[in-house]
A = this chain, B = another copy of it.
């Protein structure tokens, strides 16, 4: 099939000198035929741009069978292009159809709405936009690994199927091998002892608790894996299945955690600017209506993230000359409109808000001496609001048990989590970043269903 001998389109377009007898394998995007010359624009998914193939129509009657979407093999000479649009083109010597493409192919040469493309998510990676998105996603995933690996963090695979509930949120998918037509019951209740794992199990909402176990053994770790929320929210910002990055560091307090968060976010932005120029230019031109996407990333890289407490944030919001939809009151969570006011209008830079009331944060966050607030941090960025949430974890066994009791949690079932506070407990901290959220932010794509290949949302598990 000439997999190894062919020249990928990306490499052809970056050629430094002409080359005879290259082999091109790809899909035809457009065909233009005139009396004396024919042009095929060919793409093989390696890059956004197409490679132009130039043919003499008389010599290639097979051109009649070539449509948009047809897969072909061509051989010819890579030469400097006479047209202005591209540097290189191929003067074709042989042309072969690999796979025909009938006219019912849904991706004819016109622009399709994102809504329509979501319906054909199995085909949309063949479009310019979703080719770019998928390549960008891959490069940024690698950037995540590079950042942590180069800093001595260890990548850990925390379990997907779990018998515990990290956030206490309850919005979890059940996992079972029961035949749902006849669930075994004992004394009027489901008999989970007969299920595959001998107990009730769910899909994880976070790998954090297990990451803590590993951090307090091998130091600095990070997870990067799928997490799940069975929330019935059909919004442009929620998925039932999404990928999370959750670093966890032993011997690390909140201030140090915040430094790592800032360094990480800046690294991702700089990485995109350096290594995803094609993708960033595409987003800047075609996705971001204000054409400021590149500028936004540069601003993140060059900004100093500010720090305020939640209490200070509430004071600022109360004094704001602004009518908010949601109430501003100490003890209530900040809404997106509040977060955006703080970062976009008041401070005009990324902000870290710390020390939130304990009652609006998770049980595992470290209690401050005021007994009212916890060592939480939310990172707010312009245009989005919260993009990262983190905290220093409660490492004091008695305080943690007390908090779990207050919340009526299952302490007996969480002994494994308490054990790391029992034996050689250490201050430790971590944070969570939704991978799709950062991809949306960096690309300017406004619907989360467009930054993951096959989105899972209420009523939709297609493909």
- In the bound complex, do residue A180 and residue B178 qualify as a contact, i.e. CB atoms below 8 Å apart? yes
User: Chain B contacts of A203 at CB under 8 A?
Assistant: 160-161, 175
- In the bound complex, do residue A251 and residue B173 qualify as a contact, i.e. CB atoms below 8 Å apart? no
CA of A422 to CA of B221 in the docked complex: distance in angstroms?
A: 45
Measured CB to CB, the closest approach of chain B to A457, in angstroms, equals: 8
> In the complex, what residue of chain B is closest to A195 when comparing beta carbons?
B180
CA of A130 to CA of B213 in the docked complex: distance in angstroms?
A: 12
Within 8 A of B (CB), among A119-164: 122-123, 125-126, 130-131, 134-135, 137-138, 141-142, 145, 149, 152, 154-164
- In the bound complex, do residue B155 and residue A141 qualify as a contact, i.e. CB atoms below 8 Å apart? yes
- In the bound complex, do residue A425 and residue B226 qualify as a contact, i.e. CB atoms below 8 Å apart? no
Does A386 lie at the interface of the complex (its beta carbon under 8 Å from any beta carbon of B)?
no
CA of A76 to CA of B102 in the docked complex: distance in angstroms?
A: 75
Does A37 lie at the interface of the complex (its beta carbon under 8 Å from any beta carbon of B)?
no
Does A168 lie at the interface of the complex (its beta carbon under 8 Å from any beta carbon of B)?
no
Interface segment, one of A3-11, A329-337, A349-357: A3-11
Q: A249-B3, A458-B196 are in contact. Are A134 and B156 (CB under 8 A)?
A: yes
- In the bound complex, do residue A180 and residue B174 qualify as a contact, i.e. CB atoms below 8 Å apart? yes
Measured CB to CB, the closest approach of chain B to A223, in angstroms, equals: 10
- In the bound complex, do residue B251 and residue A6 qualify as a contact, i.e. CB atoms below 8 Å apart? yes
Measured CB to CB, the closest approach of chain B to A357, in angstroms, equals: 24
- In the bound complex, do residue A98 and residue B426 qualify as a contact, i.e. CB atoms below 8 Å apart? yes
Does A183 lie at the interface of the complex (its beta carbon under 8 Å from any beta carbon of B)?
yes
User: Chain B contacts of A189 at CB under 8 A?
Assistant: 181
Interface segment, one of A52-60, A77-85, A252-260, A290-298: A252-260
CA of A157 to CA of B180 in the docked complex: distance in angstroms?
A: 29
Measured CB to CB, the closest approach of chain B to A347, in angstroms, equals: 25
> In the complex, what residue of chain B is closest to A99 when comparing beta carbons?
B425
**Which of B155, B158, B423 contacts A101 (CB under 8 A)?**
B423
CA of A3 to CA of B220 in the docked complex: distance in angstroms?
A: 10
**Which of B142, B154, B180, B249 contacts A145 (CB under 8 A)?**
B142
**Which of B149, B159, B219 contacts A46 (CB under 8 A)?**
B219
Q: A134-B156, A251-B6 are in contact. Are A125 and B461 (CB under 8 A)?
A: no
Q: How many residues of A contact B (CB 8 A)?
A: 112
User: Chain B contacts of A152 at CB under 8 A?
Assistant: 8, 10, 46
User: Chain B contacts of A158 at CB under 8 A?
Assistant: 453-454
Residues 443-463 of A, flagged 1 when their CB comes within 8 A of B and 0 if not, give 000000000111010111111
Does A177 lie at the interface of the complex (its beta carbon under 8 Å from any beta carbon of B)?
yes
- In the bound complex, do residue B98 and residue A427 qualify as a contact, i.e. CB atoms below 8 Å apart? yes
**Which of B173, B424, B463 contacts A70 (CB under 8 A)?**
B424
User: Chain B contacts of A169 at CB under 8 A?
Assistant: none
Measured CB to CB, the closest approach of chain B to A291, in angstroms, equals: 25
The 28 sampled A-B contact pairs (Cβ below 8 Å) are: A1-B427, A8-B152, A10-B152, A46-B220, A69-B424, A71-B425, A99-B423, A123-B217, A131-B217, A134-B156, A135-B218, A137-B156, A157-B243, A157-B452, A159-B456, A160-B228, A161-B173, A161-B203, A161-B228, A161-B456, A162-B461, A174-B176, A174-B178, A180-B190, A197-B456, A197-B461, A210-B463, A416-B462
Question: What 6 A-B pairs come out closest when comparing CB atoms?
Answer: A45-B218, A125-B217, A99-B425, A45-B219, A138-B154, A197-B461
Question: Given contacts A176-B180, A197-B459, could you give 18 more A-B pairs where the C-beta distance is less than 8 Å?
Answer: A1-B251, A1-B253, A1-B256, A44-B219, A71-B425, A99-B424, A102-B423, A105-B424, A122-B420, A135-B154, A137-B155, A160-B241, A161-B241, A173-B175, A174-B176, A174-B177, A180-B183, A197-B240
Where the two chains meet, the residues of A that have a C-beta atom closer than 8 Å to any C-beta of B are 1-4, 6, 8, 10, 25, 27-28, 44-46, 69-71, 98-102, 105, 122-123, 125-126, 130-131, 134-135, 137-138, 141-142, 145, 149, 152, 154-164, 173-178, 180-181, 183, 185, 189-190, 196-199, 201, 203, 210, 213-214, 216-221, 225-226, 228, 230, 232, 240-241, 243, 249-253, 256, 259, 395, 416-417, 419-427, 452-454, 456, 458-463
